[in-house]
Amino acid sequence: MAEQILKNCCEINICFLIRICYRRWKGGCIEPHPTDKALIVNYQLEATVFGEPNNPMIEEKKHCQKIIRLRSLNTKTNPTVLAREVVDKCELIHKSQLNEVEQIIFYLKNRKDNASNDNPHSSNRKSSTIQTSYMRSSARPYNNVAAISSNTLGLGSTGNTTKAKSTADVTINNIDEYVELLYEELSERVRGSAMILQIARNPDNLEELEKNDACLSALARVLREDWRKSLDLSTNIIYIFFCFSTYTKFHPLIVQYKIGSLCMDVIDFELRRYDTMRNELDVRKQPSSSTPSENAGKDMLNRSTEDSLDIMKEEKPIDMEPPRRRIPELKQRPKSGNWSSFHGTMSSSLMRNQMLNNSYHEALYSGANSNANALESVYPIEVKAQSIDSLDQNDPKMKKEEIDRLNKQLKIFAKKQEQLLRVAFYLLLNMAENVKLEEKMRRKNIVRMLVKALDRQNIDLLMLISTFLKKLSIVDENKDEMLVLNVVQKLPRLFQNPHTDLVQVTLKLVFNLSFDATLRLKMVAAGYLPMLVMLINDEKHHGVAVKILYHMSLDDRVKSMFMHTECVQMATDAIILNLNVKVDLDLIALCINLSLNRRNAQIMVEGRRLHSLMDRAFKYQDALLMKLLRNLSQHESLQIQYIDYVGDLARILTICEDESFIVECLGLLGNLALTDLDYSQILQNFQLISWIRKVLVPCARLDDIVLDTIVYLGTCACDELCALLFCRAKVVISLIELLKAKQEDDEIVLQIIFVFQQILRHESTREYMIKETESPAYLIDLMHDKNEEIRKVCDYCLDIIAISDSEWARRIKKSFEIITPNGCVW
């Protein structure tokens, strides 16, 4: 009976377990097998146990792998067909991953170890083939996101695939194991840092990592002690702290471990190391007549911008695997029989290649108290001299091949180094949100490092540097340092780059710098003007380019240079053809500045452009456009073209409510001093006298309207009929009352007495001014004004009054008598 009950209970439990266990899988990334023709499919298995419906008791997740062996894969296999077959048969691979599977199969098909594996005679090289294939799989071109980590996880492996964990196996639960790796050999430290990086790249893990003082302390210590030993190690650790720097709340943590200061040390050292390596490579290309230091210095100074442009125009390799060195297999002895000399030459070249790529870490770290010693240790002088001499003596063609090989390896090193520079600069840019930290960076020459790095060709790095410089350029000290470092000379090559984002960021940097007059002149001297004019037609760059051109147009010496470009025509046509009610403010401001130059003004009105501008100004009553037309009217050669619009301008004064538009219309009318124009008829036909008297009432209208109205009266008073009209309509009386109220405004006072001067010039109105108004008395008082221009005009008016009236002549003379202490009269 007991056995039956126990059996029933087991059956019930089994049924219960079957009923409440829920399992599912979640697809992950796909990788090539490091040694075999196989795919590694990473997936996550989730299991949940429910005590009651909708009430989970236990949840567990496990990372798993499945290996799909491609036994039929050979050099004739079609990757597309095989990829479809794999996706159809394997339920762990989603159909959306078809392209990825095809790319991996294509990679496995072309992997060089396949040929050796198929060859039965290559079994004696099996271990080296496995190691090489593993190294290559770690730098696979199809995984851009994990480029840094993938490149470092394979370092130091010896063919044991279980030793290097894939990214899917890295979890924060094993963080202690990864930290322990930081205390091992260099290859293990690189591998451990790469695993911690994978954890840090997930924002959800950052708070947990922040609490792990042991991990962060170990990372900071390793970076401080070993950053010279490995670019991979430095990149990984700085990348980890960069992940923290993207959030402001973690910035105190970075400050605590002094990562920012370390980053600046790393950047400074790497920039100087690259320069030294580049100089030494250039020395090899120079003839042996001059010393290496002289050649390097000359090459540094004479390296042209075209060289840099050629580098920029080179097609960027898309995740290209770095070429690997190969020991050539000689099929027969050289005919000369000098096997040892040939073998020695090849050994020296291989030795130099190896030193360029790897040995500089150990050489720098093993006895480098100064940078010069460290860099010198990378290339032993004796070895270099011997190798160069041997190359010269043997074959110039071989020397050229050797230099080309070293140049390629330098470019590969530069690309790897640029990853480090990019993540380090990015971390500093994030930390520069704090003004105090930014000031510390300035004192440690961050501007010099950024300007120096502008010579690189990596687009992402250049965008980051330009963004950083743009942020720093708003501070005067940084801007002045950029001026000393001649940053203006390094930016034009970026304008010619096809990457629009890089051009946009560079333009914003130039815009910030263009506020300084000295930098603007340097930009013009460097040929910025034609390049910026070309960018006006680009919709994406139009706004910033016009702003920079506006700043350049502020300098009178530069205004005349615009006539040698198409900027004037393009800007004027853009205003005329604009379909919006309001014109682009920056564009109209640029045209207003350029219109002050006579030649630019002539270009603006060519081809009936003046009529189109006037029509648009009246249609929309655009004050800025009318200001442009007012500036054009200042040039005497263009004033005759405005005669057809004088009536329209006079009419708009009495009906327009926009005071800013009225100001510009009055200013334009005041500029038109034409002898053939009947001003009195215009004043009477459009009933402007009554309107003018209302404007001249003190405090009735804006001072700008009052001032331009007085200027217009001065222009009209040149005509004797207009002067009589002003006297009869008591406009002069209104001006005197306004003079009493505006004695503190020198500009208004000056323009009023100029109107008096114009009226006094006519004999028909002179007697009225002298005997019917108080203008002579006010003119005498103004002779003691502090403004020199006012005194000059008053002196001219009083001379006319003294000649015309003897009584006023005695009063004027008496007012100028100065009695000295001795009683002498002057």
**What percentage of the chain carries pLDDT values higher than 70?**
75
Contact 419, 239 (CB under 8 A): no
**How far out from the chain centre does Cα 201 lie?**
26
| Res 332: pLDDT | 41
Largest separation between any pair of C-alpha atoms in the chain: 152
Identify the residue with better confidence: 771 or 362: 771
Q: What pLDDT, in 10s, does the model give residues 86-127?
A: 888 888 888 888 888 888 998 888 876 544 444 433 333 333
| Max avg pLDDT among 17-31, 156-170, 350-364, 617-631 | 617-631
Instruction: Indicate the range of 355-369, 757-771, 782-796, 809-823 predicted with least confidence.
Output: 355-369
d(CA 753, CA 796): 10
How far are the Cα atoms of 265, 328, 332, 337, 792 from residue 341, in angstroms, in the given order?
Answer: 44, 15, 15, 9, 96
| Res 285: pLDDT | 74
Identify the residue with better confidence: 687 or 326: 687
**What percentage of the chain carries pLDDT values higher than 90?**
57
Residue 339 has pLDDT above 50, yes or no: no
Contact 754, 747 (CB under 8 A): no
Amino acid at site 417? Q
Q: What pLDDT, in 10s, does the model give residues 701-734?
A: 999 999 999 999 999 999 999 999 999 999 999 9
| Res 423: pLDDT | 96
| Res 22: pLDDT | 60
| Average pLDDT over every residue of 767-793 | 92
Residues 6+ positions from 464 with CB-CB distance below 8 Å: 422, 425, 426, 429
The DSSP code for 122 is: G
Band of residue 52 on the pLDDT scale cut at 50, 70, 90: low
- Rounded to the nearest 10 degrees, the angle between the axes of helix 259-285 and helix 396-431 is 160
Q: What pLDDT, in 10s, does the model give residues 464-487?
A: 999 999 999 999 999 999 999 999
User: What are the percentages of helix, strand and coil residues in the chain, rounded to 5?
Assistant: 70, 5, 25
Measuring CA to CA, which residue among 145, 147, 216, 203 is closest to residue 175? 216
Band of residue 675 on the pLDDT scale cut at 50, 70, 90: confident
Residue 11 DSSP SS3 = helix
Q: Contacts by 333-342 with C-beta closer than 8 Å and gap 24+? A: 341/394
Q: Please name the fold of domain 678-820.
A: Leucine-rich Repeat Variant (1.25.10)
First-residue to last-residue Cα distance in the chain? 148
Amino acid at site 52? E
Contact 504, 544 (CB under 8 A): yes
Identify the residue with better confidence: 635 or 114: 635
d(CA 193, CA 175): 11
| Average pLDDT over every residue of 255-273 | 95
Residues 6+ positions from 313 with CB-CB distance below 8 Å: none
d(CA 363, CA 378): 6
Contact 683, 724 (CB under 8 A): no
Instruction: Indicate the range of 6-10, 289-293, 350-354, 517-521 predicted with least confidence.
Output: 350-354
Q: What pLDDT, in 10s, does the model give residues 534-550?
A: 999 899 999 999 999 99
| Res 6: pLDDT | 42
- Rounded to the nearest 10 degrees, the angle between the axes of helix 763-771 and helix 775-782 is 80
How far are the Cα atoms of 63, 78, 84, 322, 641 from residue 94, in angstroms, in the given order?
Answer: 17, 20, 11, 31, 74
Beta pairing partners, 52 = 55
d(CA 354, CA 340): 21
Q: What pLDDT, in 10s, does the model give residues 152-200?
A: 333 333 333 333 444 457 889 899 999 999 999 999 999 999 999 999 9
| Res 51: pLDDT | 61
| Average pLDDT over every residue of 246-266 | 95
Q: What pLDDT, in 10s, does the model give residues 648-661?
A: 999 999 999 999 99
d(CA 30, CA 137): 12
| Res 12: pLDDT | 42
d(CA 372, CA 381): 13
Band of residue 58 on the pLDDT scale cut at 50, 70, 90: low
| Res 507: pLDDT | 96
| Average pLDDT over every residue of 552-564 | 94
Band of residue 21 on the pLDDT scale cut at 50, 70, 90: low
| Res 154: pLDDT | 34
Q: What is the DSSP code string of 446-505?
A: HHHHHHHHTT---HHHHHHHHHHHHHHTTSHHHHHHHHHTTGGGGSHHHHT-S-HHHHHH
Tokens of 499: 């990457």
Domain range annotation of the chain? 1-110, 172-286+418-424, 678-820
Band of residue 404 on the pLDDT scale cut at 50, 70, 90: confident
How are strands ordered across the β-sheet holding 38-52? Answer: 21-32, 38-52, 55-69
Residue 24 has pLDDT above 90, yes or no: no
Band of residue 56 on the pLDDT scale cut at 50, 70, 90: low
Contact 230, 416 (CB under 8 A): no
Instruction: Indicate the range of 100-104, 303-307, 528-532 predicted with least confidence.
Output: 303-307
Average pLDDT of the residues of the chain: 79
Residues 6+ positions from 682 with CB-CB distance below 8 Å: 646, 647, 650, 688
Contact 41, 68 (CB under 8 A): yes
Residues 6+ positions from 818 with CB-CB distance below 8 Å: 825, 826
Tokens of 622: 């655009």
Q: Using a cut of 0.75, tell me whether the model's pTM lies above it.
A: no
| Average pLDDT over every residue of 269-277 | 93
| Res 474: pLDDT | 95
Q: What pLDDT, in 10s, does the model give residues 435-456?
A: 999 999 999 999 999 999 999 9
Residue 18 has pLDDT above 50, yes or no: no
d(CA 583, CA 626): 12
Amino acid at site 594? L
CA torsion 566-570-572-573 (nearest 10°) is 140
Interior angle at CA 694, CA 692 and CA 699, nearest 5:
115
| Res 287: pLDDT | 54
**How far out from the chain centre does Cα 321 lie?**
30
| Average pLDDT over every residue of 277-285 | 84
d(CA 28, CA 100): 12
Tokens of 483: 């001026």
